[in-house]
Amino acid sequence: MNRTLPKIKSIKILILTLLPIYLIFLSSCEKQHTTPGITALNVQTEEAIEKDIPIYIDSFGNLTESQNVNVKPEVSGKINQILFTKAADVKTGELLVTLDTAIYEANCLSDKAVVEEDMADAEFKKYLFDKNAPLVEKGAMAKQDFQKMKTDLESSLAKLETDKAKLLLDKINLDHCYIRSPIDGVIGINNVDIGNYVTTSDVLFNIKDISKLYIDFALPEKDIARLKKAMTEGSLKIMIYIMKETNSYVTKKDHYEGTLTFLNNTADPQTGTIPLRAEVDNSSNNLLPGQFADIKLIIGTRANAVLVPKEAVQLGPEGRYLYKINKDNIAETVEVSTLEIYENYFVLSGKSGISKGDRIVTVGLQNLYSGAKVNVITDDSKPDTATIKG
One domain, residues 322 and 220: yes
pLDDT per position as a tens digit, 312-338: 999 999 899 999 999 999 999 999 999
pLDDT per position as a tens digit, 54-108: 998 999 999 999 999 999 999 999 999 999 988 889 999 999 999 999 999 999 9
One domain, residues 188 and 304: no
**Strand-pair category, 292-309 with 345-348:** antiparallel
Answer whether 351's CB lies under 8 Å from 334's CB.
no
One domain, residues 215 and 337: yes
Answer whether 166's CB lies under 8 Å from 118's CB.
no
Residue 369's CB is within 10 A of a number of other CB atoms, namely 9
What's at 175, amino acid-wise?
Answer: D
Q: What is the DSSP letter of 148?
A: H
Distance, in Å, from the CA atom of 101 to the CA atom of 172, rounded to the nearest integer, reads 12
Q: Which helix (H) or strand (E) holds 303?
A: strand 292-309
Residue 239's CB is within 10 A of a number of other CB atoms, namely 16
Answer whether 191's CB lies under 8 Å from 72's CB.
no
- Domain coverage including residue 121: 101-176
Indicate the burial class of 130 (C-beta count within 10 angstroms; 0-12, 13-18, 19 or more). Answer: exposed
One domain, residues 92 and 155: no
Q: What is the DSSP letter of 29?
A: H
Domain presence at residue 149: yes
Q: What is the pLDDT of residue 389?
A: 38
Domain count for the chain: 3
What's at 323, amino acid-wise?
Answer: Y
CATH number (domain holding residue 263): 2.40.30.170
Domain presence at residue 35: no
pLDDT band with cut points at 50, 70 and 90 for residue 111: very high
pLDDT per position as a tens digit, 121-156: 999 999 988 888 888 788 778 888 888 889 999 999
Domain presence at residue 7: no
Distance, in Å, from the CA atom of 95 to the CA atom of 69, rounded to the nearest integer, reads 16
- Our CA angle for 61, 62, 66, nearest 5°, is 125
Taking the model in full, what pTM does it have? 0.63
Nearest CA to 166 out of 103, 110, 101, 121 is that of 110
Answer whether 330's CB lies under 8 Å from 70's CB.
no
One domain, residues 238 and 186: no
pLDDT band with cut points at 50, 70 and 90 for residue 285: confident
